[in-house]
Amino acid sequence: MIRFKVLLFICLFVMVAKAQSPVKMGVAFSTYFEDKTMRVDYLHSGTSQTESFTLYGIKNEGPWGGRVSVLNDPYQLGLYAFDIVDVASGKVIYTQGFCSVFGEWQTTLESRELNKSFQESVRFPWPKNTFKLVMRKRDSTQVFQEIWAETINPAQYAESQWTYPEVKVRYFLNSGNPKHKVDIVVLADGFTLSDTLEFSKDVNRFMDAFFSVEPFKSRKADFNVAAVYSLSPAEGIRLQKKNFYPSNILGCSYSTFGIDRYVLSDKEWTVRDYAAVVPYDFIVILMNSNKYGGGGIYNLYITASARIPNADYVMVHEMGHHIAGLADEYYTSEVAYQVSVPHYEPWEFNITALLDPTKLKWKEMVEPGTPIPTPWNKQDYEKTMKLNISKEPFQGKVGAFEGAGYLSQGMYRPEVNCIMFSHSLTFCRVCQDGLNKVLDIYVAK
Ligand SMILES: [Zn+2]
């Protein structure tokens, strides 16, 4: 949920913006890959100061539905990134940036005292030849450093065809070949067999919300949306009320990291098992709950209560985190001030520390004559917690408005208002631009 993304932000925020320069593009898919999906499961373990990776298993998830033209992620957003390196040629043949639950957990007090493991996976097209899986993480100056590598011979896993869970699947939007579309899979958590109709209604609720907002609205034909009826033996979501522990199949739970409305799953491999029933790029977990809550992690999944008054806002906002790693632009939650002013530029598309105003990362979108930083009625907003848009001198303009990413000072957002800032149902232009950049690499031919 917006307010509860602070932990994620801190973890992302410690690192800076200098994404490693984009790796060479234009690797031909068929030269290096078969049309199958390889999923590598591993345990990501450690404390606030340490981390390690243990390979757990490799699965063949069936036909590849992801990127086939732009194989090396040109943006490398997120706290982590992985590379697939062809051992024979030494070439990086696939890369992807991402964030993880472990990365968030490392910012909690608990991680100072405990050593804990989390399920994680990375997915990529099935390499034809022996490859090295290289894991990288941003250091304190935001530069990626290698932290783990394993050499894997795919021939050893050729027979590892995995059995899909037997579940009902329904396409709510089928726009074409998954290899050139953005494939969203919607999963159910806490729905029983008798709730299937309700789940279908909730998927429609998600569709209505998502496709009513730009840039998704005018790009609807770029998307496929499939619902997987991952039913649970009992109704509801863990801790949606006090002492309530139903056996919801995907393991979503309120009170993640002690934050009441923050919902994540501790069963990432189960989530992916159900997601992989169809080719997918992004995962939406709809929860059979009327308690406000959710979460969204870049390149992992979103969770959202489907039956709350602000469900549309929550779903779309979380998709901003999930698809393009957009930062929260708000700064008024009480935990905001635990974050310190950065010495390095954050990597997210939509916030800046404005360390050098002449190099503002979205400067090409700023009209001449717009002052940087850009004045706004910050004091009034902080008093009333309401934006009076009609009184904002630079309303609708792109600039650099102080107050963003949980920081009242020293962090700036691109427009005075955005769905990453308030409950407005509009992404600002910089957020839209970031989303479009990411969506483009999934549909490229
Ligand atoms: Zn924005």
First to last CA, the chain: 34
Asked if residue 81 lies in contact with residue 97, where contact means CB atoms within 8 angstroms, the answer is yes
Residue 16 confidence (pLDDT) above 60: no
What digits encode the pLDDT tens for the residues 337-390? 356 778 899 999 999 999 999 999 999 999 999 999 999 999 999 999 999 999
Task: Write the secondary structure of 248-282 as one string of H (helix), E (strand) and C (coil).
Answer: CCCCEECCHHHCCCECEECCHHHHHHHHCCCCCCE
Instruction: Compute the distance between CA of residue 66 and CA of residue 423 in angstroms, rounded to an integer.
Output: 31
Mark whether 127 and 231 lie in a shared domain: no
Instruction: Identify the domain boundary among 271, 305, 325.
Output: 325
What digits encode the pLDDT tens for the residues 162-204? 777 899 999 999 999 999 999 999 999 999 999 999 999 999 9
pLDDT band (50, 70, 90) for residue 27: low
Note whether residue 445 is domain-resident: no
Note whether residue 314 is domain-resident: yes
Mark whether 152 and 182 lie in a shared domain: no
Distance 415 CA to ligand 1 centre (A): 7
Mark whether 341 and 383 lie in a shared domain: yes
* Percent of the chain clearing pLDDT 90 (strictly above): 84
What average pLDDT score do residues 264-276 get? 97
Distance 395 CA to ligand 1 centre (A): 13
Mark whether 308 and 203 lie in a shared domain: yes
Distance 250 CA to ligand 1 centre (A): 30
What digits encode the pLDDT tens for the residues 210-224? 999 999 999 999 999
Residue 157 confidence (pLDDT) above 80: yes
Backbone phi, then psi, for 177, in 5-degree steps?
Answer: -55, 120
Distance 251 CA to ligand 1 centre (A): 31
Provide the residue type at 188 as one letter.
Answer: A
Mark whether 436 and 339 lie in a shared domain: yes
Residue 306 confidence (pLDDT) above 70: yes
Mark whether 33 and 137 lie in a shared domain: yes
Is 22 or 426 the better-scoring residue by pLDDT?
A: 426
Residue 26 confidence (pLDDT) above 60: no
Note whether residue 373 is domain-resident: yes
Residue 398 confidence (pLDDT) above 50: yes
Distance 9 CA to ligand 1 centre (A): 15
What average pLDDT score do residues 295-303 get? 97
Instruction: Identify the domain boundary among 325, 351, 379.
Output: 325
Note whether residue 162 is domain-resident: no
Per-residue pLDDT, 160: 66
Distance 402 CA to ligand 1 centre (A): 13
Distance 403 CA to ligand 1 centre (A): 12
Distance 430 CA to ligand 1 centre (A): 6
Distance 341 CA to ligand 1 centre (A): 20
Per-residue pLDDT, 163: 76
Distance 418 CA to ligand 1 centre (A): 5
Note whether residue 288 is domain-resident: yes
pLDDT band (50, 70, 90) for residue 3: very low
Distance 244 CA to ligand 1 centre (A): 36
Distance 40 CA to ligand 1 centre (A): 33
Mark whether 348 and 221 lie in a shared domain: no
Note whether residue 163 is domain-resident: no
What digits encode the pLDDT tens for the residues 83-99? 999 999 999 999 999 99
Domain count along the chain: 3
Residue 71 confidence (pLDDT) above 80: yes
* Percent of the chain clearing pLDDT 70 (strictly above): 92
Note whether residue 164 is domain-resident: no
Distance 396 CA to ligand 1 centre (A): 12
Distance 233 CA to ligand 1 centre (A): 40
* CATH of residue 12: 2.60.40.3250
What average pLDDT score do residues 94-108 get? 94
Is 248 or 107 the better-scoring residue by pLDDT?
A: 248
Mark whether 151 and 173 lie in a shared domain: no
Instruction: Identify the domain boundary among 157, 183, 214.
Output: 157
Residue 9 confidence (pLDDT) above 80: no
What average pLDDT score do residues 149-173 get? 89
Per-residue pLDDT, 12: 39
Mark whether 16 and 147 lie in a shared domain: yes
Distance 387 CA to ligand 1 centre (A): 15
Mark whether 188 and 210 lie in a shared domain: yes
Pairing of strands 33-46, 92-98: unpaired
Note whether residue 255 is domain-resident: yes
* CATH of residue 316: 3.40.390.10
Per-residue pLDDT, 6: 43
Mark whether 129 and 193 lie in a shared domain: no
Residue 146 in tokens: 């290698």
Range of the domain at 43: 2-157
Instruction: Compute the distance between CA of residue 180 and CA of residue 61 in angstroms, rounded to an integer.
Output: 18
Residue 8 confidence (pLDDT) above 50: no
Per-residue pLDDT, 18: 34
Query: Which pTM value belongs to this model?
Result: 0.92
Buried/exposed 401-412: b ≥16 CB within 10 Å, e otherwise: bbbbbbbeebbb
Least confident of 61-70, 304-313, 336-345: 336-345
Per-residue pLDDT, 274: 97
Chain mean pLDDT for the chain: 91
Distance 20 CA to ligand 1 centre (A): 23
Mark whether 411 and 276 lie in a shared domain: no
Per-residue pLDDT, 339: 65
